[in-house]
Amino acid sequence: MQGELTIHRLLTKMRGVEASDLHIKVGSPPVMRIAAVLHAIECPPLSAEDTSKLLLPIVPQRIQKQLEEKGGVDFSHIEVGARFRCSVFQAGGGLHAAIRRVNTKIPTFQDLHLPPVYEHVAEHVHEGLVIICGVTGSGKSSTLASIIEHMNERHAFNIITIEDPVEYLFLPKKSYVSQREVGMDVTDFFTALRGAVRQDPDVIMIGEMRDKETLLAGLMAAETGHLVFVTLHTADTMQSFARILEFFPVEEHGFVRSCLANGLKAVMAQRLLPSIKPGVRVVPATEVLLNTPIAAERIRDGRDEDLPAIVAGGIHEGMHSFTESLARLVTEEFVDQKTAERYAPNVDQLRSRLRGINVKADSLISRTKH
């Protein structure tokens, strides 16, 4: 960068190149993460004096003493029409920082290439528990943001989110939205959730279920008429049930299963695949379980092994397996077959499904010709 290096110029640059993160460290130039790749700013390495000069102007006066005594602080900063989540800390003989730009452009279901059942759940489910699951980097936060924004645009709800960190900034439209960030606005998820149920919410969004207390409070909120969205760090819908039960001793599993059977509305799993379609970088393969009466019965009775068959047989209701989703992505030319097979839970089932689609297509073409 030409000219004097200031935090204002760096934050402006972040917004201009759509960087998600800015890292400032003693001994290296500032680094920005753009589309998941780190890029160094063209300037000399920063000294301890340089990083202090850059960072101290944005650290709120009220917590500068805390930075000195505890060695690190977290805070929000608003500048150049954007909100940034800042973590400033002492390291290497000077001040370092990790600064994240909070997204204000929230993707739609169409932007994310999500199947119609996601919009159906956002539009027609008004109470109960909805679980969005996937491994790290699977797009859970973006999916959850698109659901919340859909409601924000169409319904007069009181929406409370509990996040760590806040990744998208919701501007009030038809709904009233309060975003609480763990570590900045509240100490932990459970404390925030316990407070949220007393704040007249219609919708509660919990960024991640991390412990027994938060999960139990979320289940109770769902059973008492609130619509609760949560994320779980699990690869698919079946693992979600195992993960939830892991939080509780065996003697409480019956109670937890009863709560899930009564309050659960949907489990929606996803993983991101590289796309071959022009203009589309990644696309989600999804698996969706809706809690139909038969699904609720199996969950209550502990017969989870029957759930994959319920998913496979519920395609007309919007349910589908990863295999079905991958086959659709291949036939719609979002991904190639080799990539789909790499992500498939069962490669033989995927190949069989694709052969069935191709045979059906060939038969249709043949009838058309005659």
Whether pTM > 0.85 for this model: the answer is no
> What's at 53, amino acid-wise?
K
Tokens of 70: 């505890």
pLDDT at 362 over 60: no
pLDDT tens-place string over residues 261-311: 999 999 999 999 999 999 998 999 999 999 999 999 999 999 999 999 999
Give the pLDDT score at 358: 58
pLDDT for res 2: 64
pLDDT at 253 over 50: yes
Question: What pLDDT score does 365 carry?
Answer: 41
Asked if 266 contacts 130 with a C-beta cutoff of 8 angstroms, the reply is yes
pLDDT of 92 > 90? The answer is: no
So where are the chain's domains? 7-102, 109-357
Q: Closest Cα partner for 227 from 141, 306, 161, 298? A: 161
Percentage of residues in the chain with pLDDT exceeding 70?
A: 95
Q: What is the DSSP string of 139-195?
A: SHHHHHHHHHHHHHHH---EEEEEESS--BPPPPSSSEEEEEEBTTTBS-HHHHHHH
Span of 74-88, 111-125, 147-161 with lowest mean pLDDT:
74-88
Most confident of 78-82, 103-107, 266-270, 358-362: 266-270
Query: What superfamily would CATH give domain 109-357?
Result: P-loop containing nucleotide triphosphate hydrolases (3.40.50.300)
Q: DSSP H helical segments within the chain, as ranges?
A: 7-17, 48-55, 64-70, 109-112, 116-124, 140-154, 189-196, 212-223, 237-246, 253-263, 293-301, 307-313, 322-331, 337-343, 347-369
Query: For residues 320 and 20, which has the higher predicted lDDT (pLDDT)?
Result: 320
- With 50 as the cut, is the pLDDT of residue 68 above it? yes
Mean pLDDT (whole number) for 355-365: 56
pLDDT band at 4 (very low <50, low <70, confident <90, very high): confident
Mean per-residue pLDDT over the chain, rounded: 91
* Structure token digits, residue 259: 């709560």
Return the structure tokens found at 346: 């069962």
| Omega cis (within 30) before 60 | no
Was domain 7-102 assigned CATH 2.60.40.10?
Answer: no
Least Cα distance to 141 among 97, 27, 149, 329 occurs for 149
Picking from 278, 236, 243, the residue whose alpha carbon sits closest to that of residue 260 is 243
pLDDT band (50, 70, 90) for residue 164 = confident
The predicted-structure confidence for 195-246, as pLDDT tens digits, reads as follows: 999 999 999 999 888 889 999 999 999 988 999 999 999 999 999 999 999 9
